[in-house]
Structure 1
Amino acid sequence: MAGIGAGLVAGFAGPSLAADITDEPLVIRDPAPVVYEEQGSYSGWYIRGDVDYHWSKFRGADYITYGASPGTGSFDHHKLKGAMSAGIGAGYQFDNRFRTDLTLDWLAKSKFRGGTSGWCGASQCTSVDTTSYSALLLLANAYVDLGTWHRITPYVGGGIGGAHVKWDKLDNTICDDPNNPGCSTTTHGGKKGWRFAYSLAAGASYCLTKNLDLDVGYRFTRIEGGKMFDYAGPAGGIGAGPGHDKGLNNHEVRGGLRYTFGEGSGRCEEPQTVVYEPEPIYTK
């Protein structure tokens, strides 16, 4: 009887213990760390060179008039033609998001043509005015890179600084003065000087090599107003000037290259990949 009882107890206890062992939760031990492939650096000094074509918008001008109707005059109509420009710069890439640089651009001559109306003695007359301007643009810039996809990195940025604007001589030609048949031209000396300037930019760079990027984009530059031309006129104090322009707006389409020293940029490399990832270890 004792043997039968022990067998019954063992028979009932066996499944119970097995169930306890089977139902015990599994514990996952932390595996060894994942090993990733190394990527290039995102920081370093760089130099840049750019060329562009820009369209300048003349914001108007005022000048003093003398003679039969003294006061303040302005151009009735005006237009500036587009021109090329080129620039150089140096900067530093802090990380994969932020960089700054200092740039110096030479804006080639942009031709100006305008027209004025006034008094020629007791009669009203009109004129054609021609000149051109060029400038050196010095800006401290900052950019935010928005991420990299297939080696392409879009960005936005802006700059602040100054522009040294140089106006050539202005020729004021009158062809319908009733007191002087034919055409007569009065030449005003041009003015030059430094002015405040700022810019806003957007574009994208493409990684050619780990050290070389192709950069294309758009930049808007505002140059504040300043002196444009001197007084000129016949003897007796009848003439016009000096003149002050109200500023220039430049719209630029730019392209250039950036060279990063040292290890270069990690933008040319593929996204970080796993070299080794161990299997998790399960324990009871």
Structure 2
Amino acid sequence: MLPARFRVKETLMARSKLVALARSLTLAASVGAPCLAHAAALPPPPPPPPMAPPPVDVGGGWYLRGDVGVSALRLNKFEGTDRAGFIGPEGGYQREQTEIGDQAFAGAGVGYQFNAWLRGDVTAEYRTSANLSFGESYANCFSGSCEGLTPPFPRGYDFYKGHISTIVAMANGYVDLGTWYGVTPFIGAGIGSAFHRTSTMTDFGAGTALGGIGVIQGRDTTSLAWALHAGLAMNVTPNLKLEVGYRYLNMGTAKTGTLQCFETSICPDTTYKFKDIEAHDVKVGFRYMLGGFAAAPLPPIMPDYQPAPGPLVRKY
């Protein structure tokens, strides 16, 4: 056990340490209090600046298209009014070869891409003038009946030559079958109208009809048209696609005007029809997508930040 004087000394040292600690805490409080008060008086930080809005899609799935191509035409059926009945069975009436030439065409349209695999468009195209010709022959029995006469009878030949041009307007739908290395095969179908114009057709006669019997007047005709499509589309840019395709196009029926004979008694009100006019088209074209991204308008500029007023302090 320590002597009394050492215990007193330890007690005094402990008290001096407590006094020093209290003084340190008091000094820290006196220094930090103004800082805390100043921090409490500071306004809250201003809000962050507005973020730029994301770009918006302009144009959606709309697109423009244009096409050019060449076409091989075919006539499936040729009809005329009953001139054969007028001439009579003994006249040996028959139709000769019917021919139609090739065409070139150019068209344009507007369409919409509904999703990744389905799209549709409306198109109009002009098809250039194609040669059109047909013939007919008969026994030369106009001056009297051939009945009782011994064949062969002298025959007359009429060969008519003219032109046909067409405007086609169609609504089309397509299915895109997937994209590989930027190439998209597609199939489609369309329906619409064909507006045919046949020119005046001149008769180049032969045999007993040498010099021709008359002239066929021109005529405008509207007919139902339908089409089947197949082809490939290639990405040139994000908005531009190049197309190469085949189309089967059925342009319906075209009609002629009335055959105006030099001797009117031999062909009253005779007209002709060219039915099931088929076109096998090879074409190239483009599609330009109107959809794209543009910067959205910025929100209105925020006013300068003003801190909220502090509490009202009354002084008495």
TM-score by length of 2: 0.65
| Alpha-carbon separation, structure 1, partners of 2:260 and 2:105 | 31
Instruction: Tell whether 2:117 aligns with 1:117.
Output: no
Using the alignment, how far apart are the partners of 2:162 and 2:95 within structure 1? 13
Q: Is the 8 A contact 1:220 1:249 kept in 2?
A: yes
Q: Please, which of 127, 142, 161 is the counterpart of residue 107 of structure 1?
A: 127
3-state SS of the aligned residue for 2:256? strand
Provide the rounded CA distance (Å) in 1 between the counterparts of 2:167 and 2:254: 15
Partner of 2:44: none
1:75 is matched with which residue?
A: 95
**In the superposition, relative to structure 1, how do residues 74 and 131 fare at CA in structure 2: closer, same or farther (>3 Å)?**
farther
Judged with a 3 Å threshold, the aligned counterparts in structure 2 of structure 1 residues 236 and 248 are, in CA distance, closer, same or farther, namely closer
When residues 160 and 68 of structure 1 are mapped into structure 2, their CA distance, relative to the original with a 3 A threshold, is: closer
Deviation at 1:124, TM superposition (A): 2.5
- Corresponding residue for residue 23 of structure 2: none
Q: Partner residue of 2:74?
A: 57
Return the offset for 1:96. 1.0
Gaps of 5+ in 1: 1-39, 265-284
User: Compared with structure 1, are the counterparts of its residues 164 and 143 closer, same or farther at alpha carbon in structure 2 (3 Å cutoff)?
Assistant: same
- Structure 1 residues 211 and 116, CA, compared in 2 at 3 Å: closer, same or farther? same
> What is the distance in 2 between the residues matched to 1:239 and 1:171?
15
Q: Percent identity?
A: 27
Look up the SS of the partner of 2:227 in the other structure.
strand
Of 212, 215, 237, the match for 2:243: 215
Deviation at 1:72, TM superposition (A): 12
Please list the CA deviations of residues 55-102 of structure 1 after superposition, one character each: whole Å capped at 9, or x if unmatched.
110123211317543899763211211121000000000111000000
Q: CA RMSD in A?
A: 2.5
Paired residue secondary structure (2:192): strand
Partner residue in 2 for 1:93: 113
CA separation in 2, counterparts of 1:97 and 1:45? Answer: 14
Q: Which amino acid in 2 is paired with 1:103?
A: T
1:60–1:75 CA contact under 8 A, matched in 2: no
Query: Which position in structure 2 is the counterpart of 1:158?
Result: 189
* Matched pairs, number: 222
Paired residues of 1:144 and 1:156 also in contact (CA < 8 A) = yes
Equivalence for 1:17: none
- Please show how residues 136-147 of structure 1 align to structure 2 within 5 Å: 136-147=167-178
Q: Is the 8 A contact 1:60 1:74 kept in 2?
A: no
Give the whole-Å Cα distance in 1 for the aligned partners of 2:165 and 2:241: 29
Question: Is 1:62–1:75's contact at 8 Å kept on the other side of the alignment?
Answer: no
Q: Given residue 98 of structure 1, which amino acid in structure 2 is its aligned partner?
A: L
Distance in structure 1 (CA, Å) of the matches to 2:220 and 2:120: 29
Output one character per residue of 1:105-125: Cα deviation in whole Å (capped at 9) or x when no partner.
111111112221124336422
More strand by share: 1
Give, in angstroms, the shift of residue 193 of structure 1: 1.9
The runs of 4+ residues in structure 1 deviating greater than 6 Å are 70-74
Tell me which of 252, 276, 279 is aligned to 1:224: 252
Name the aligned partner's letter for residue 220 of structure 1.
Y
Match of 1:128 in 2: 159
Which piece of structure 1 moves more, 224-233 or 65-74?
A: 65-74
* SS of match in other structure, 2:260: coil
Q: Aligned pair 1:205/2:233, yes or no?
A: yes
Which of 168, 175, 193 is matched with 2:206 structurally? 175
Structure 2 distance, partners of 1:192, 1:74, is 26
Asked if 2 retains the 8 angstrom alpha-carbon contact of 1:197 and 1:222, the reply is yes
Q: Which amino acid aligns with 1:104?
A: A
Q: Distance in 2 between matches of 1:236 and 1:81?
A: 31
State how far apart, in whole Å, the 2-side matches of 1:144 and 1:68 are. Answer: 54
SS at match of 2:265: coil
Contact conserved, 2:198 with 2:254, CA < 8 A, in 1? no
Q: Which residue of 2 aligns with 1:247?
A: 276
The letter of the residue matching 1:47 is L
Q: Deviations over 1:116-174 (max 9, x none)?
A: 11243364222222111111101000000000011100000000011101111111221
Aligned-partner SS, 1:237: helix
Q: Which has the higher contact order (CA 8 A, sep 6+)?
A: 1
Measure, in 2, the Cα distance between the counterparts of 1:193 and 1:214: 34
Residue number in structure 2 paired with 1:31:
none
Superposition TM-score, scaled by structure 1 size: 0.72
Q: Which residue is equivalent to 1:46?
A: 63
Structure showing the higher helix proportion among its residues: 2
Alignment partners' CA distance in 1, 2:74 and 2:182: 35
